[in-house]
Amino acid sequence: MNCTRRIPLRYYSTASLSTYHFNQRIGYLKNGSGATKVDDALQLFDEMLQRKPSPSIIKFTQLISVIVKEKQYSTALMLLKQMKLMGIPANIYTINISINCHCRLDQVAYGFALLATILKQGHQPDLVTYNILINGLVLADGVFEAVELFKKLLSEKVCEPDQITFGTVINGLCKAGHTSKALELLRFMESVSCKCKPYVEHYNAVIDSLCKDKMVDRALELFAMMTQKGVIASVITYNSLIHGLCNFGRETEAAQMLRDMEEEGVSPGVDTFTILVDSFCKKGSVKDAELTIQAMLRRGLHPNVITYNALIDGYCLRGEVDDAEKVIDRMMERDIVPDIITYSRLIDGYCKKKRIDKAMRLFQEIQDKGLIPNVVTYSSMLQGLFESGNPAAASELFNQMQAKGLAPNVCTYRILFHGMCNNSQCTDALALFRSLESNELMEDVGLYNILIDGCSKCGNPNMAMDLFDELCLKGLKPNVRTYTVMINRFCQEGLFGKAKELLRKMEENGCLPNSVTYNVLVQELLKKNECQEAEIFLEEMINRGFMPDHATFENLLVRIPNVGEDSRLRTIVLKLTSVERKDGRT
């Protein structure tokens, strides 16, 4: 490393300097991180190809590897072809690169064709070839085919799988949601019959997958088992576990995990603390989030844009949008450039506080700064405009976003249809829904819920009913919101029989009513003075652990004077009020 200075290109055309300086330049490309990396590599490739005698094939493979690492697979294949045309013979290394590139270009079948060619020409594919193909199958969503090939290697003793083979299969299984299969394979690696022992990375994949599958306790068990076997956890292991714990409101254990990792000599990173900041913010404890940021600063770790965005989200969630905006100043002080996500959240915060003028000003300002609003930014603005009673401006913005080439997503359409229906435009909303061509949108139960509810509210109960039937006919599963909206619709029309029928039917279909479902039903029954029916469902909901909400409770109190001294309704109300007093609430 005594000569890392860049040497002008023209010196390389003199033969005397060739091999040594080719090595130098390949070295630069491998370690460097310039924007011209690929172009420089191509330039060097041409020079090497013209050099007589040809540099060793090793130099060429090193150079092409640079291109592959930059994910320029087509380019890499083109270079291999050029080498072939120049009469440089392929070897197992170049063939493996070629197979890998085809796999990465979603041409795994071509990769297998190359394998057949190798065999026909009497060459031997090696373990790397199989690892590449197994990964190719995983990338092509064929994890079970990957497992088949893996098993074939074992059973036919083609070659002995190594850590990479196991890692590829385990990761593939986890990514495809087959965590238990991945765990099985990990167990096999641990067993005496397997020569290949698992590394921390193998455990990490399964631990993370278990956490994502909401099986945090099993992840913790595996973590304990791994430690017991002497495998040292990495910062990634801890991050996955801390994230998993936080997702289930187990912040105390997560904080303990943080102490544990430091005790074990594993330093938490910015990402570790950011997980905690985000989690505290999501549950509304911005104070704890701020304390976490102080803790990371004490350790010399610098919060980044993701950390601060989480914090901004936290303040917005509490409706403290002015405090959220102050976070931007703190970011600037630390030379952290707010990105479009930062501003999108702030804009959303202002919209939710109905401060649409402020949101619009910010929306304009960021564009003046050169930031490009994304679908999320537009969707927030759309919601803000609808909720501030400006549907005309909302639809103009919707057209504007499409004119800018941004495709609305499911959330955008949910906001749009909800806003339109609230402004008596359910017919237009429905017409727009009919014109959608994306299956993802046409099969979104959430969109149906909004339209069903919207049509009911616009005074089109029959259209709502048709949409519900259509949803079922499509084979889509109505969810608890769908049923609640329909029950509400029946109640509004005084069709309590139908409402009750649907309540039973939803349970038969494996969809349990929630607090909202019961509140809607009981409230409507009370409003229509169906006190006895209301009593039945009130008892049922309380037995299931649901409480009447504020609106239901008001309706209840209004009815009390109308019912007898020893009525069940009165008893329920008395019981409820005493329970609430015990809670310390009023």
In angstroms, what is the minimal distance from the CB of 128 to DNA?
Answer: 3
> Nearer to DNA by C-beta: 278 or 533?
278
Residues that bind DNA (rule: CB under 7 A) add up to a total of 60
| Cβ neighbours, 10 Å, residue 401 | 20
CA–CA separation, 449 and 431 (whole Å): 16
Handedness of CA 7, 11, 17, 22 (dihedral sign): positive
Q: Are 76 and 68 in contact (CB under 8 A)?
A: yes
Rg (CA), the chain: 31
Judged by CB under 7 A, the residue of 147, 236, 415, 569 near DNA is 236
CA 25/CA 318 separation, integer angstroms? 55
Q: Quick one: tokens of 292?
A: 């976490």
Q: Is the bond preceding residue 53 a cis peptide, omega within 30 degrees?
A: yes
Q: What is the DSSP letter of 476?
A: P
Q: Which of 220, 261, 275, 525 binds DNA (CB under 7 A)?
A: 275
Distance CA 395, CA 385 (A): 9
CB of 106 within 8 A of CB of 137?
no
* Angstrom distance (rounded) from CA 105 to CA 103: 5
Minimum gap (Å) between residue 384 Cβ and DNA: 20
Hey, what amino acid is at 280? Answer: F
Residue 201 binding DNA, by CB under 7 A: yes
Told to check if 243 binds DNA by CB under 7 A, we report: yes
Least Å distance, CB 12 to DNA, is: 17
Reduce the DSSP state of residue 222 to 3 states and report it: helix
Residues 6 or more apart in contact with residue 565 via CB below 8 angstroms: none
- Of the pair 270, 536, the CB lying nearest DNA is at 270
72, 75, 107, 171: which one binds DNA (CB under 7 A)? 171
Cα 562 from Cα 558, distance rounded (Å): 8
Smallest gap from Cβ 411 to DNA, in A, equals 15
Cβ closer to DNA: 151 or 477?
151
93 contacts DNA (rule: CB under 7 A): yes
Q: Which is nearer to DNA, 296 or 464 (CB)?
A: 296
Which lies closer to DNA via its Cβ, residue 90 or residue 291? Answer: 90
Q: Which stretch binds DNA (CB under 7 A): 111-119, 339-347, 360-368, 561-569?
A: 339-347
User: What is the rounded end-to-end Cα distance, in angstroms, of the chain?
Assistant: 75
The residue (of 307 and 456) whose beta carbon lies closer to DNA is 307
Task: Tell me: does residue 153 bind DNA (CB under 7 A).
Answer: no
29 neighbors 44 (Cβ within 8 angstroms): yes
Residue 392 CB, nearest approach to DNA (Å): 32
Q: Which of residues 240 and 423 has its CB atom nearest to DNA in the complex?
A: 240
Could you tell me how far CA 310 lies from the centroid of its own chain?
15
Q: Which of 171, 173, 164 is nearest to 132 (CA)?
A: 164
62 contributes a contact to DNA by CB under 7 A: yes
User: Among the candidate windows 95-103, 253-261, 479-487, 513-521, which touches DNA by CB under 7 A?
Assistant: 95-103
Q: Which three-class secondary structure string do you get for 528-580? A: CCCHHHHHHHHHHHHHCCCCCCHHHHHHHHHHHHHCCCCCHHHHHHHHHHHHH
Stretch that binds DNA, among 129-137, 388-396, 429-437, 485-493 (CB under 7 A): 129-137
CB of 174 to DNA, least distance (A): 7
CB 268 within 8 A of CB 258: yes
The window from 124-132, 355-363, 402-410, 549-557 that contacts DNA (CB under 7 A) reads 124-132
Name the minimum Å distance from CB 130 to DNA: 7
- Which residues in 19-48 contact DNA (CB under 7 A)? 27, 30-31
**Smallest gap, in angstroms, from Cβ of residue 84 to DNA?**
15
Q: Of the two residues 341 and 465, which places its CB atom closer to DNA in the complex?
A: 341
Instruction: Determine the residue type at 576.
Output: L
Segment interacting with DNA (CB under 7 A) among 64-72, 429-437, 451-459, 532-540:
64-72
Among 91, 256, 367, 402, binds DNA (CB under 7 A): 91
Positions touching DNA (CB under 7 A) are 27, 30-31, 57-58, 61-62, 65, 68-69, 91-94, 96-97, 100, 126-129, 131-132, 135, 162-168, 171, 199, 201-202, 204-205, 208, 235-236, 239-240, 243, 269-272, 274-275, 278, 304-307, 309-310, 313, 339, 341-342
